[in-house]
Chains A and B, each alone.
Chain A
Amino acid sequence: MMRELDKLDRAIVESLSPDARVSNRQIAESLGVSEGTVRARIKRMEEQKQLRITAVTNIDRFVDATLAYIWIEVERSDQTRDVARTLAAVSELGFVGVMLGRSDILAITMVKNTEHLASFVRQHISSVPGVRRTESSLGVNFLKHDYRMARIVS
């Protein structure tokens, strides 16, 4: 079980939230702690994979791109993990999770259109040994994504 963030950790994360380029000194001043403490806390949270500071780009800048949710059923349950591991290595996939209920694996990617989705699924998903069938939902309006929430796995 992962260590939960304490009060100071959360306050630092909150300070980073509007603009993650804010300096350690500014955070330290606003929270009344030393700059070294802020630096050490950020370092610890990053090392323990509790926090990741990264650049994100606006999906609207990608012309004609939309999100696709691909639900994958495997042939036999004991193949689930291997299939998921293979899919996690596909660079186009932004999310790969082993799921309980509805389907065995969920993979999320960005595609241009239905044809692109079909060829992506054929090339990268259906061809993986152990994949029995897939069902996809194609996004028409990506309304919300709170980038502050993620499982930090790599």
Chain B
Amino acid sequence: MNNLAASAGTRPIDLDDTDHGIIALLRADGRMPYRAIARELGITEATVRARVRRLEESNTMRVVAVTDIEAAGYGMLLAIGVQVENRDPEAVATDLAAIAEVFSVNVVVGSHDIEILVVTEDAGSLSELLMATLGSVPGVRRLTPALAMDVLKNQPDWVPFHDA
């Protein structure tokens, strides 16, 4: 699974300036060598290594590779509001999360019950995804899609970690 959720066992750790410094540098360049990070922050390479391990093991931070949706072959990005009937929204959301094209699932309060982000190749596969795949999930009453025409900004550096 690439989608990482909070594991029940880990406890939050307190972060100090060194941790924040390391996170900021790895945000800018996830493959920055530990030696360069050490030099930048005026600490030893061993400290950097130990801190990174602690951040990763406590499920606080992860260094990841993000692929551009278009470069991956998906021509369309949509945000879809989902209205649910006769079923627990959490259960519907869990089913939606299992669909590969659905890359973000958030149970919400508002005029919809769930907000999802999906990717698809083209108009043909979109129709299949909406009407056959998403529409047939039990409890889904209505889908209200919006097609992203131009994404000006997409840099969430917060995600739910689900594994570990």
B93 within 8 A of A: yes
Given contacts A60-B161, A102-B144, A143-B105, contact A13 B65 (CB under 8 A): yes
Chain B, 129-164, contact with A by CB distance < 8 Å: what is the 0/1 string?
Answer: 000000000000000111111111111111111100
User: By the criterion of a CB under 8 Å from any partner CB, how many residues of chain B are at the interface?
Assistant: 69
CB neighbours of B86 from chain A (8 A): none
Please state if B106 and A57 are interface contacts (CB–CB under 8 Å).
no
A49 within 8 A of B: yes
CB neighbours of A81 from chain B (8 A): 150
Given contacts A147-B64, A153-B154, contact A138 B160 (CB under 8 A): no
Given contacts A106-B148, A147-B66, contact A137 B111 (CB under 8 A): yes
B57 within 8 A of A: no
Give Cα A49–Cα B147 distance, bound, in whole angstroms.
Answer: 22
Given contacts A53-B63, A100-B147, contact A150 B68 (CB under 8 A): yes
Where chain B touches its partner, the secondary structure class is: strand
Given contacts A17-B2, A62-B158, contact A51 B65 (CB under 8 A): yes
CB neighbours of B9 from chain A (8 A): none
User: What would be 13 A-B contacts, judged by CB atoms less than 8 Å apart?
Assistant: A2-B68, A16-B65, A56-B62, A56-B156, A56-B158, A69-B110, A95-B156, A98-B148, A137-B115, A140-B109, A143-B106, A151-B151, A153-B153
B residues touching A (Cβ–Cβ < 8 Å)? Answer: 2-6, 12, 23, 26-31, 52, 59-73, 77, 79, 81, 90, 93-94, 97, 102-112, 115, 117, 119, 144-162
- Given A5-B67, A54-B157, A61-B59: 15 more A-B contacts, CB < 8 Å: A2-B68, A3-B71, A50-B67, A53-B30, A55-B64, A97-B79, A102-B145, A138-B108, A138-B110, A140-B107, A141-B107, A142-B105, A142-B160, A147-B2, A153-B153
